C-alpha cells in the first residue's frame, strides 16, 4: 500500500481538502493474467477500503498487487479460496495501516 498525506491547507482556488480518504487499486496484467481475476481483486480492495474507512486518516491510498497468483493452486479465476486469501491479506494490510496511523496521531 502506498500512502500520500493530504495537504491540510486549501488549494489555490481556496477550496478545503476533502474529508474522506481516497483509495485506488492497481492490478497489473502481468501479475493477474485473467481480467476476471483483476476485477475480483479490485472489488476486494475497494470493499476492504469501505470496511476500514472509519479507522484510516483522510489520505490518498493506492493498493498495488505485487505478486503473481499461482494458477495451478487457484483453478478458478474467482475461486472461494482465492477470495479468502485476498481478503485476509487486505485485512492485514489495512489493519496495519490503521494501527500505524493511530500511533502517529498520539
Domain-located, residue 54: yes
Residue 26 CB burial class (10 angstroms; 0-12, 13-18, ≥19): middle
Set of cell numbers at residue 58: 483522510
Domain-located, residue 93: yes
Domain-located, residue 23: yes
Domain-located, residue 12: no
Domain-located, residue 11: no
Model pLDDT, residue 14 = 63
Model pLDDT, residue 21 = 75
Model pLDDT, residue 77 = 77
Beta pairing class for 2-4 and 60-64 = antiparallel
Q: What is the pLDDT along the chain (106 residues), one digit of tens a residue?
A: 988 877 655 566 666 666 667 899 999 999 888 899 899 999 999 999 999 988 888 888 999 999 887 777 877 877 888 889 999 999 999 999 888 877 765 5
Domain-located, residue 35: yes
Domain-located, residue 80: yes
Torsion of CA 28, 32, 36, 37, to 10 degrees: -110
Separation of alpha carbons 36 and 98, rounded Å: 29
Model pLDDT, residue 17 = 60
Domain-located, residue 25: yes
Number of domain units in the chain: 1
Domain containing residue 25: CATH number: 3.30.230.10
Separation of alpha carbons 74 and 78, rounded Å: 8
Which residue range is the domain that position 41 belongs to? 2-6+18-105
Model pLDDT, residue 15 = 63
Amino acid at each position: 500500500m502506498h500512502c500520500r498525506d493530504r495537504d491540510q491547507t486549501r488549494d489555490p482556488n481556496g477550496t478545503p481538502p476533502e474529508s474522506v480518504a481516497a483509495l485506488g487499486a492497481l492490478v497489473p496484467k502481468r501479475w493477474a493474467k485473467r481480467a476476471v481475476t483483476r476485477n475480483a481483486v479490485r472489488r476486494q480492495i475497494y470493499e476492504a477500503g469501505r470496511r476500514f474507512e472509519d479507522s484510516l486518516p483522510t489520505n490518498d491510498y493506492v493498493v498495488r498487487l505485487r505478486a503473481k497468483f499461482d494458477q495451478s493452486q487457484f483453478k478458478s479465476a474467482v475461486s472461494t479460496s482465492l477470495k479468502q486469501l485476498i481478503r485476509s491479506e487486505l485485512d492485514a494490510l489495512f489493519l496495519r495501516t490503521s494501527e500505524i496511523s493511530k500511533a502517529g496521531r498520539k
